[in-house]
Structure 1
Amino acid sequence: MLKYVSLPACAAAILLALSAIAPVSAQFAGQSLDEVVQVRLLEGWRSEANHHMAAIHITMAPGWKTYWRAPGQGGIPPRLRLDPVEGVDGMSIHWPRPEVFFNNGMRSIGYHGDVILPLEFMVSENGTFLIEGQIDLGVCQDVCMPVTVDLEGVLSPGGRRDPLIAAALSDRPLSGAESGAGHATCAVTPISDGLRVEVRVRAPSVGENETVVFELPDPGIWISETTAERDGDIITAAADVVPADAGPFAMNRSDLKITVLGSHMAIELQGCHG
């Protein structure tokens, strides 16, 4: 069932079932919602290592976009919540390389067109599993439409390798070892409401519009957009890191995830040292 709700600032909320793409009669910005976004579940395949690779397939109309896990100041991060299932021990999202967008002076990070988000489930037995939960995401053009999707799908043994999922997996950011990047060093300086973090790393060029993103596991910690510059093969990037109480705190340097995005590839590094 799909439900349309009027929200402030011309936003809308819809409920989608992943088992099929149902029609939508509501209108948004002159378009019906099914003309703006469609979502379906790719059931994928079961590997011999008791891992099941599935995916969420999001298709958007021209000019519309959705967001990466760290969406920037103008974006809405996706949130995935799955119910516990006996025999399924864990799940991870393999994020393909996103794009960097600029709108009204704000930077956001995400995807346009077709988006495949691979989901890797760790299963302890070779059975059939019913997966249920929800995902929240934002779909934006000039304004944003918050979308809540009810997830329901069946993971069955076997299946064939899906080329769409395989292509998304191949477009993931490279690790430091895969890209030839060095180890990151970081200098941490206290500021009035948190920390100033400056990272220095040797890394190959990733293409045009090079952007550096910092992330920490705690979503309550705010991280500003980075300022970054390259001198040869050395990237220097800095950002302010502010906790929820805007007070002093100790940052575990090994928790800092550093992603370098570009037009040709991306590099992802975990942790830095002083």
Structure 2
Amino acid sequence: MIKTAATLALLAAPALATTQDDVLAAQLRPGYQMENGGYMAAVELQLAPGWKTYWRSPGDAGIPPSFDWSGSQNVKSVRIHWPAPEVFEANGMQTIGYHERLVLPVEITPEDPSRPVRLSVVMALGVCDEICLPATVDLTSDLTAPGAPDPSIKAALQARAETAGEAGVTSVACQVDPITDGLRVTARVRLPDPGRPEVVAFETADRQVWVSEAITQRQGGELVSMAELVPPNGAPFALDRSGITLTILAAGGAVEVKGCPAAP
């Protein structure tokens, strides 16, 4: 309820002088065909100076993006490769996202690699500066083989979060405790200290579960982070630990930890 109220308050701010076209431009970068027959394309968003948009898990006051690929032709699946996002602090609220420009790589697996691919997406998102606007972009592009190298897409792929192994994570465990309206999860991750403030974003396999802003601190060689999970029915529930993703953000870099087993 708090998240919904905060978002509605932002959307209700006076925005009569500002429209989507004033602050947002978007295109599909057609990219190139990969050795496996799939394609690497990208959604590119250009935002006006000072404006930002949000990551897949945007924080309490953010607006998560959604994607509808159903208008595509000869597309079996689409996988999004998220560049490491930034953490924004404003008015006592923490959000996670990107400012001014986002190139979001999308990996396409065709139904039939020998046939042309037409990629179509309707993306709903929020864009914010001192006010927030709901936005929708409708993009279509034909993907042709072999395409051409795209430095912007390659740079965005290189900006992805490190895996746990790449980042030197040696252990991870979660303690799960019931609370009145859901669960409290406390994660302990052993990994090198970057020497900079760290923010942890918790995600679950069920996107309907509300996740609070995490409280995070260092305890010796461990990063300890706690968040509350509240499902739509507001009651404790069975948590799929394998579906938990922890993303640890520190000064433009990120580490993605998948799964959070119980402590041995």
TM-score by length of 2: 0.90
Task: State the identity as a percent.
Answer: 41
Among candidates 19, 23, 37, match of residue 36 of structure 1? 23
CA contact (8 A) 1:11 1:146 kept: no
Q: Mark the CA change 1:192 to 1:33 in structure 2 (over 3 Å): closer, same or farther.
A: closer
Q: Mark the CA change 1:171 to 1:82 in structure 2 (over 3 Å): closer, same or farther.
A: same
Provide the residue aligned with 2:102 in structure 1: 115
Q: Shift in Å at residue 271 of structure 1?
A: 0.5
Q: Mark the CA change 1:154 to 1:11 in structure 2 (over 3 Å): closer, same or farther.
A: farther
Answering whether residue 49 of structure 2 is matched by residue 45 of structure 1, we say no
CA contact (8 A) 1:207 1:263 kept: no
Alignment of 1:159-178 (within 5 A): 159-178=147-166
Answering whether residue 217 of structure 2 is matched by residue 245 of structure 1, we say no
Q: 52-61 vs 123-132, which deviates more?
A: 123-132
Alignment of 1:131-142 (within 5 A): 131-142=119-130
Provide the residue aligned with 1:255 in structure 2: 243
Q: Shift in Å at residue 85 of structure 1?
A: 4.5
Q: Mark the CA change 1:104 to 1:70 in structure 2 (over 3 Å): closer, same or farther.
A: same
Alignment of 1:171-210 (within 5 A): 171-206=159-194, 208-210=196-198
Q: 198-207 vs 130-139, which deviates more?
A: 198-207
TM-score by length of 1: 0.87
Q: Which consecutive residues of structure 1, in runs of 5 or more, have no partner in the other structure?
A: 1-6, 13-26
Which amino acid counterpart does residue 226 of structure 2 have in structure 1?
A: A
Q: Shift in Å at residue 48 of structure 1?
A: 1.7
Among candidates 14, 17, 27, match of residue 10 of structure 1? 14
Q: Which consecutive residues of structure 2, in runs of 5 or more, have no partner in the other structure?
A: 1-10
CA contact (8 A) 1:127 1:156 kept: no
Answering whether residue 115 of structure 2 is matched by residue 127 of structure 1, we say yes
Q: Shift in Å at residue 231 of structure 1?
A: 2.8
Cα deviation 1:111-139 (Å, max 9, x = unaligned): 00211100110123132122223100111
CA contact (8 A) 1:206 1:264 kept: no
Which amino acid counterpart does residue 37 of structure 1 have in structure 2?
A: L
Q: Shift in Å at residue 33 of structure 1?
A: 4.4
Q: Matched residues in 2 for 1:52 and 1:127: separation?
A: 12
Among candidates 64, 76, 90, match of residue 63 of structure 2? 76
Q: Shift in Å at residue 35 of structure 1?
A: 4.1
Among candidates 245, 257, 263, match of residue 269 of structure 1? 257
Q: Matched residues in 1 for 2:78 and 2:234: separation?
A: 32
Q: Matched residues in 1 for 2:125 and 2:195: separation?
A: 28
Q: Matched residues in 2 for 1:77 and 1:160: separation?
A: 31
CA contact (8 A) 1:139 1:146 kept: yes
CA contact (8 A) 2:51 2:99 kept: yes
CA contact (8 A) 1:83 1:131 kept: no
Alignment of 1:136-155 (within 5 A): 136-155=124-143
